[in-house]
Chain A
């Protein structure tokens, strides 16, 4: 049952077309402004706060990402909101708009497989997200250099780069989800609403709900089980995974993301930073989890799309 030809035929063409569409669209203008404003707000908040507390912090530059000043959130939490919203904004109408414009059957009657169309669209979305996030990251670093006047160390740059990579992966999760729902729902408005609803649920409600569920099902005597179960449940949400990963990467003193037992603290020097590779080890399950989720969501979208009727 082998089919003839490569599933990637036409992938580059679709990718370029979608990239061009995205980059020339009104959405991109909005994204650009969001990027600039986010960078300015985050750096302003962080700088004023850092100046106040200036300490002998060996990772001063990373504070740029994580310091918040009321009422503004930190850059990291900004990104935690912005990246999913950007991804959903780029992906929610990727397939159903082809249906609604009645271009789908015409494009699929060209010598390409559906694989190329779906994957090309995903890669184009991811490319646009990567471009925006890299621009944002560079803006923050640049503004930080100017205002702080302290050059970042090698490890700080490595950690900041890793943070950028993780953010792109995190955005990829939401892009894959948005594309899956754009395959399932014929109406773009429905797809957008459902994706946003899921995002709201997984980001805001679920992390609060998970411990409550654990409490409801585990007897209060078994505190450890209660905490770990609550945490495991919360980790079903990609935003929890992202938050934990960022914590481990940008706060080098983070030793574990779960509960700490007393015997584990034996011999530990409190407040001593971990090396980069050790920090990565701490967050590795979370990083792999995010990659896995985005692959799973993409595969689900792929399967549904392959079985879908092309007729309008």
Chain B
């Protein structure tokens, strides 16, 4: 099979004159979790619908597992599992019956359906409520049932739209854990979210959406380096010692030193410099009290990026 699982080149969706998605290009490698992040209305869902062939592509091209979603939507949809934003099921049917319907649409025979459904419900932890009607389900259970549907299809790609939206912290942690196990079983995952910090933990790479365009793309660490200058921040708290700040600043990889409070220093650096920092404090005769590494958070990257973009726009005007 092809090297990339999903390949989008110059994907564009226009509604009248306005472009909801404007020349978006990205590719997803096998076994990768790729995050489409950005505020509501930035074009994430539209991009997903174009990849599934559920909405027309105005311009550009998409390939999903080597298939064109415009020409061969059935081939794409057979191999891709989709969990829509706030997924719905038929309330009057049981969880298993809902999956039976999907299974029949997939063309599975009745014996195959039974084993697949039992297996999928087991994996998402819904076996006990398989015969319960879906109207009794909580939002989190419906999301898990949606994942079970993807598991049942044996999809090679899972597209999850806002999977943690509206879930309580406990339920979203469970869901993210399920997503990780999905990845472990070799499924490539494309997920969209506006909850940056929740999603940061599962994504291998992310694309930050803004007004229909991809503003930034890469691993979280790369983005941190790109936007925040230094990718890492190390907090050092130490008792006096002469010239600690100077010595810390001399460590290779440190880009900046800032004293945030007496005895507290914040280092901006390209890599994790904690061992060198500890050594520097000790050799300066100081007593190290605390040493902490702040990994760049998507939230910071995101706000910082758009702040600077706004400033640039203002300066240009």
Contacts and interface: CB of A to CB of B under 8 A. Distances in A.
Contact of B54 (A5, A103, A310): A310
Contacts of A312: 84-86
Given A4-B75, A13-B105, A110-B105, A101 B91 contact: yes
B91 A10 contact: no
B77 interface: yes
A109 B52 contact: yes
Contacts of A108: 54
B72 interface: yes
A103 B105 CA distance: 14
Contacts of B46: 311
A101 B135 CA distance: 11
Interface string A35-77: 0000000000000000000000000000000000000000000
A17 to B, nearest CB: 6
A17 B71 CA distance: 28
A124 B176 CA distance: 40
Interface string B63-80: 000000001111101101
A112 interface: yes
A29 to B, nearest CB: 14
A10 B101 CA distance: 10
Nearest to B79: A111
B279 interface: no
Given A4-B71, A4-B74, A105 B101 contact: no
A5 B74 contact: yes
Contacts of A107: 102, 105
A33 B96 CA distance: 32
A10 B103 CA distance: 11
B72 A103 contact: no
A102 B49 contact: no
Contacts of B73: 3-4, 113
Contact of A102 (B75, B80, B87, B106): B87
Given A310-B54, A311-B45, A109 B101 contact: no
A289 B83 CA distance: 44
Contacts of B232: none
A105 B54 contact: yes
B295 to A, nearest CB: 34
A281 B235 CA distance: 94
Given A9-B74, A311-B45, A102 B84 contact: yes
Interface in B185-225: none
A2 B71 CA distance: 7
Interface size class of A (residues with CB under 8 A): 20 to 34
Contact of A110 (B55, B86, B102): B102
Given A109-B82, A111-B78, A311 B49 contact: yes
A103 B74 contact: no
Contacts, number: 84
B106 A310 contact: no
A10 B49 CA distance: 21
B89 interface: yes
Contact of A106 (B55, B80, B87, B91): B87
Contacts of B80: 109
B68 to A, nearest CB: 9
B93 to A, nearest CB: 9
B90 interface: yes
Contact of B106 (A17, A105, A111): A111
Contact of A310 (B49, B101, B104): B49
Nearest to A306: B56
B72 A4 contact: yes
Nearest to A116: B105
Interface in B142-168: 146, 149
B88 interface: yes
Contacts of A10: 105
B42 to A, nearest CB: 14
A309 B77 contact: no
Given A13-B104, A17-B101, A102-B88, A109 B77 contact: yes
B54 A111 contact: no
B146 A106 contact: yes
Interface string A4-35: 11000110011001000100000000000000
Contacts of A110: 77, 102, 105-106
B88 A103 contact: yes
A21 B88 CA distance: 17
A112 B92 CA distance: 23
Given A3-B71, A4-B72, A311-B49, A102 B86 contact: yes
Contacts of A109: 52, 54, 77, 80-82, 84
B105 A111 contact: yes
Nearest to B15: A309
Nearest to B104: A13
Contacts of B54: 105, 108-109, 310
B95 to A, nearest CB: 14
A309 B105 CA distance: 21
B222 to A, nearest CB: 31
Contact of A309 (B55, B71, B74, B90): B55
Given A105-B82, A107-B105, A311-B46, 8 more contacts: A4-B72, A10-B105, A21-B90, A103-B88, A106-B89, A310-B49, A311-B49, A312-B86
23 contacts: A2-B71, A4-B74, A5-B75, A17-B104, A21-B90, A21-B92, A101-B91, A102-B88, A103-B88, A103-B90, A105-B49, A106-B87, A106-B88, A106-B89, A106-B102, A108-B54, A109-B52, A111-B74, A111-B77, A111-B107, A112-B105, A310-B54, A311-B49
Interface of A: 2-5, 9-10, 13-14, 17, 21, 101-103, 105-113, 309-312
